[in-house]
Copies of this chain bind each other. A is one copy, B any other.
Amino acid sequence: MGNWEQNVRRVTPYVPGEQPKQENIIKLNTNENPYPPSPALKKAWQQMDLEKMRLYPDPAASELVTAIAETYGVKESQVFAGVGSDDVLAMAFLTFFNSERPILFPDITYSFYDVWAELFRIPYRQIPLNDRFEIIKEDYFAENGGIVFPNPNAPTGVELPVSDIEAIIAANQNTVVIVDEAYVDFGTISVLPLIEKYDNLLVVQTFSKSRSLAGLRIGYAFGSEKLIKYLNDAKYSFNSYTMSRPSVLMGAAVVRDQEYFTETIHKIISTRERMKKELAGLGFVFADSKSNFLFVTHPQYSAKELFAQLKEAGIFVRYFEKPRIDRYLRITVGTDEEMDCLLNFLKEKCTGVFL
């Protein structure tokens, strides 16, 4: 045995949200959509030509890119598609964050940003949110090698107004600004129109939440034609064929069904607003989430313990053992029935333990 291990890249292994295999649990831990995908999925599935699976997919995923471009009213050359928004974001980090200056992102944010920065050896600086978990735009008026943040932010659900985002972009014309809109469809205004004004803005979205398609792994980005061309060049040189045929075909069909999409979104938003009232009534404290999850804390109760108790009761939520947020739980907005189960559990707890 030699010492080859000395050359291995050591990473802090990321622990993904559990994907438990048992049925009959209430899964509120990875922000999936509680409703099934659009019926358009079934049609596309039925029409799939299995013999064609022997052939490589179209490297440009044109069918999907066209469907996204048409749905959002942009040019195909302004759309990039990848294997989930993680793939799109990672590719964007690699392509655009290529300077000696640090990239900037919030201290409390999507947990992959620092991991990708380390993986690609990109210097970075994490900027603290304020005590209300808000991004302060002026903090991003500093010299940097790029900027990335989610809107609404994760895992807080807090929205940054479009005017603040535009101020950040306007102040940073010499680097690329990535706005990660994974949760934008649940009530935040997208900055997509700004790609016509700022050629350094990349807007990233996903089919995993609002389109109920986490299982197909589809993410995408909007940007100026220049930006998208750079992304595609990097992608082709790294792995030309990333999107499988089924994902391209089924994704294209689903994104065109705007009616079902809107209907689903409205159901989730209405459940979320109801939950806010109910949870506030139980003494939970939280910011005004604009996403499909709530990020809650309770003054009298340990989040870590509650997380474990919920899990034992078959209700999976997410807990991050990290500075500043270790008293919080992130709860995905499920169906009304799922939320009622959660509330019943919490009410019993609250009567028995909290109060």
Q: Is A48 an interface residue (CB 8 A)?
A: yes
Please give the count of copies of this chain that the complex contains.
2
Indicate with 1 or 0, residue by residue over A174-185, a CB within 8 angstroms of chain B CB atoms.
Answer: 111000000000
Q: Is A9 an interface residue (CB 8 A)?
A: yes
Report which of B54, B98, B145, B237 forms a contact with A213, defined as CB distance below 8 A: B54
Q: A121: nearest residue on chain B (CB-CB)? A: B121
- Please give, as numbers and ranges, the residues of chain B lying within 8 Å of A56 by CB-CB distance: 16-17, 19, 30, 32, 208, 214-215
Q: Is A271 an interface residue (CB 8 A)?
A: no
Q: Is the interface of A mostly helix, strand, loop or mixed?
A: loop
Let me know if A53 and B41 touch, CB within 8 A.
Answer: yes
Interface size on A, residues (CB 8 A): 89
The 8 A-B residue pairs whose C-beta atoms are closest, nearest first, are A2-B173, A215-B245, A54-B212, A53-B215, A16-B240, A2-B174, A7-B99, A86-B239
Interface-located stretch among A67-75, A87-95, A123-131, A276-284? A87-95
* Known contacts A41-B50, A237-B115; A174 and B215 CB within 8 A of each other: no
- Please give, as numbers and ranges, the residues of chain B lying within 8 Å of A199 by CB-CB distance: 1, 4
Interface-located stretch among A226-234, A294-302, A320-328, A337-345? A226-234
Interface CB pairs A-B, < 8 A, 9 = A2-B172, A8-B98, A15-B236, A45-B45, A56-B215, A87-B239, A116-B238, A119-B234, A119-B237
Let me know if A84 and B239 touch, CB within 8 A.
Answer: yes
Q: A9: nearest residue on chain B (CB-CB)? A: B98
* Known contacts A237-B11, A247-B246; A51 and B36 CB within 8 A of each other: yes
- Please give, as numbers and ranges, the residues of chain B lying within 8 Å of A7 by CB-CB distance: 96-99, 145-146, 175-176
Binding site for B on A (CB under 8 A): 1-9, 11-17, 19, 21, 27, 30, 32-37, 41-42, 45, 48, 50-59, 83-84, 86-87, 90, 94-99, 112, 115-116, 119, 121, 145-146, 172-176, 199-200, 208, 212-217, 226, 230, 233-234, 236-247, 250
* Known contacts A50-B42, A90-B238; A173 and B1 CB within 8 A of each other: yes
Report which of B1, B15, B35, B50 forms a contact with A37, defined as CB distance below 8 A: B50
Kindly name the residue among A7, A121, A226, A240 whose own CB sees the greatest number of chain B CB atoms within 10 A: A7
Let me know if A241 and B214 touch, CB within 8 A.
Answer: yes
A16 to B33 Cα, complex, angstroms: 36
Q: Give, as a whole number of angstroms, the nearest-CB distance from A8 to chain B.
A: 5
- Please give, as numbers and ranges, the residues of chain B lying within 8 Å of A247 by CB-CB distance: 244, 246
A306 to B234 Cα, complex, angstroms: 31
- Please give, as numbers and ranges, the residues of chain B lying within 8 Å of A208 by CB-CB distance: 56
- Please give, as numbers and ranges, the residues of chain B lying within 8 Å of A12 by CB-CB distance: 237
